[in-house]
Amino acid sequence: YPPNLIKNFSIIAHVDHGKSTLADRLLELTGTIRKGHGQPQYLDKLQVERERGITVKAQTVTMFYNYSKDRRKYLLNLIDTPGHVDFSYEVSRSLAACQGVLLLVDASQGVQAQTVANFYLAFEADLAIIPVINKIDQPTADPDRVKEQLKAIFDINPEEVILTSAKTGQGLEQVLPTVIDRIPSPKGDPGRPLRMLLLDSYYDEYKGVVCHVAVVDGTLKKGVKIASAATGQSYEVNDVGILHPELTPTSHLFTGQVGYVIAGMRSTKEARIGDTLHLSRTQVEPLPGFKPAKHMVFAGVYPADGSDFDALNHAIERLTCNDASVSVSKESSGALGMGFRCGFLGLLHMDVFHQRLEQEYGAQVISTTPTVPYVFEYVDGSKVTVQNPAALSSSPGKRIVKCWEPTVLATIITPSEYVGSLMTLCSERRGEQIEHSFIDGIPTIPFCLTFYRQRVMLKYKLPLREVVIDFYNELKSITSGYASFDYEESEMQISDLVKLDLLLNGEPVDALASIVHRAKAERVGRELCEKLKKILDRQLFEIAIQAAIGSKVVARESLSALRKNVLAKCYGGDVSRKRKLLEKQKEGKRRMKRVGSVDIPQEAFHSLLRSS
């Protein structure tokens, strides 16, 4: 295939604006999948994607399309991208292989926060942007208004906008011809030595590591030896082909094509995403690559039953083979035993990881309250990044003199009536307003102004920690689900942070330690103590539950003693029945975690850590 007959593009959109459905229609239209066959949302392969209706991992697929205008057959690579804020790393990765995008917007919801974020990712990558307003079949669709928003925010000419319904098929015939007319072909040079960008990789039990690549220059042939620019390792290419939509061997991949390579790599750790692959023993300039994934949220992941450590270890190893964006290191906790500290791109990413551990690998896990990477400077001038609050030293020789916390730049788009409550929410969360603007065009009849439901774009600088803990749910509940939210990483800011310990009968429980802003420490401590009191089973003696900063107790609850005599109702002398009851009690005790002199049932950790 000559590069001028190749087009590489992606669909970018806010969650649920219909990206996967549109992709399905395009696959049907080009005969890549049969209509009405197979499952809907073909590209969403993972079980969690189907259940949650979101795309987590980007998938690629090749289609062939006969263009009636020039009677030529084009090769189109559609690279699906996830819509959720946590996965913008995957989005920018997919965009590196594209020359253009379809910017999809729901005709009734209009431009949302991720539309804005994704638009700028494509705009900064200098890609051709084709605006598409989808779901025009809906009774509440208002495509004219969405056109005005596109004009006001992105300066998009309303005449360039395509109107579609991925559901009824209306307008779909315009999409691929516009892709061919407006998106440039890849610019690589077939005459130069091979260079390919490694876009993604996954582990297949039978085939080994499968890499998705974009061939930038030259030609890749089955049987050649390739090398990684990052590691210098070389590999023999056992299989190459396209994703049409399943792996389809082609023996060659030409300049501009996107496809797969299987080259005997043993683990996905060898397949570094963003790496340049070239022919071994030839010198090439490495491609720009991508920024490495940045971990924004950390949590401890522990087996629900301590003895399952090996099983969990195995499951995590397997899963990280397919999700290289999670970082994993071993840690141990006095309360929870041996486990792992994992770094995630965001909260949803963390949830999805847990769900996959449970669903795909049958692992039962407890995870600690998520935290963000804080930086502390000690009196001796040394600095540490703390991913686990329990690890923060508070010994006298290590007095903390300065701390920094990560912040984000958040974009919120909301109907104007919720602006007041959202501003209150953001200021409670220590946010600083950066922008407040109206995004709908000005209505032409002034009288309508009062009836016109204006949309507002707010930009805030917020501490990441405040965003990580339940911000999204609160934003959704304040605005009845109407506001949308996205964030990008911003700088570290100096902050007054303290370590809040939770003590049971004077013993700190490491799994429940947290780092909080000083002004909020007392409130958080009180809430934690109250929650723990509700959850903990009463013990045979009184328990003091305390929250403390260093040696200063900021909150306290106490739980009175209870004598639980399981034999109380057992009159008379049936020994075997007594024994049975005592055995049962023993079994119950086995499932307790002993912290100092206090037994904490597994379930208590579960409900406490889940609800905080």
Binding site for ligand GTP (CB under 6 A): 13, 15-21, 41, 53-55, 83, 134-135, 137-138, 165-167
Q: What is the 3-state secondary structure (H, E, C) of 460-514?
A: EEEEHHHHHCCHHHHHHHHCCCCCEEEEEEEEEEECCEEEEEEEECCEECHHHCE
Q: Is 83 labelled a binding residue? A: yes
| Shortest CB 458 distance to ligand GTP, Å | 23
Q: Which long-range contacts (CB under 8 A, 24 or more apart) does 37-43 make?
A: 42/245, 43/80
What is the C-alpha separation between 440 and 455, in angstroms, rounded?
6
| Shortest CB 22 distance to ligand GTP, Å | 7
Q: Is 136 labelled a binding residue? A: yes
Q: Is 250 labelled a binding residue? A: no
| Shortest CB 80 distance to ligand GTP, Å | 8
55 versus 388: smaller Cβ distance to ligand GTP = 55
Residue 200 · residue 211 · CB < 8 Å? yes
Q: Is 565 labelled a binding residue? A: no
| Shortest CB 480 distance to ligand GTP, Å | 19
137 versus 305: smaller Cβ distance to ligand GTP = 137
| Shortest CB 84 distance to ligand GTP, Å | 7
Q: Is 14 labelled a binding residue? A: yes
Residue 180 · residue 100 · CB < 8 Å? no
**Residue 232: DSSP 8-state:** -
Residue 214 · residue 261 · CB < 8 Å? no
The torsion angle over the Cα atoms of residues 384, 387, 393 and 399, rounded to 10 degrees, is 40
| 255 CB burial (10 A radius; 0-12, 13-18, 19+) | buried
83 versus 303: smaller Cβ distance to ligand GTP = 83
The two three-digit tokens of residue 166, written as one number = 């991925």
Q: Is 44 labelled a binding residue? A: no
16 versus 603: smaller Cβ distance to ligand GTP = 16
42 versus 340: smaller Cβ distance to ligand GTP = 42
| Shortest CB 307 distance to ligand GTP, Å | 38
| Shortest CB 7 distance to ligand GTP, Å | 21
What is the C-alpha separation between 251 and 256, in angstroms, rounded?
16
53 versus 190: smaller Cβ distance to ligand GTP = 53
| Shortest CB 27 distance to ligand GTP, Å | 12
22 versus 412: smaller Cβ distance to ligand GTP = 22
Q: Is 16 labelled a binding residue? A: yes
The runs of H, that is alpha helices, within 233-362 are 309-322, 347-361
17 versus 145: smaller Cβ distance to ligand GTP = 17
Residue 561 · residue 577 · CB < 8 Å? no
Q: Is 372 labelled a binding residue? A: no
Q: Is 436 labelled a binding residue? A: no
Pairing of strands 100-106, 128-134: parallel
Q: Is 88 labelled a binding residue? A: no
Distances (CA, A) of 141 to 17, 22, 163, 526: 12, 17, 11, 48
What is the C-alpha separation between 10 and 122, in angstroms, rounded?
10
48 versus 54: smaller Cβ distance to ligand GTP = 54
Q: Is 584 labelled a binding residue? A: no
From the list 235, 215, 232, 214, the residue with the least C-alpha distance to 224 is: 235
Residue 169 · residue 163 · CB < 8 Å? no
**Residue 538: DSSP 8-state:** P
| Shortest CB 568 distance to ligand GTP, Å | 55
**Residue 390: DSSP 8-state:** G
Q: Residue with CB nearest ligand GTP?
A: 83
Q: Is 81 labelled a binding residue? A: yes
* 3-state SS class at 362: coil
CA 564 to the chain's CA centroid: 46
| Shortest CB 470 distance to ligand GTP, Å | 21
82 versus 256: smaller Cβ distance to ligand GTP = 82
Binding residues for GTP, as ranges, are: 13-20, 80-84, 134-137
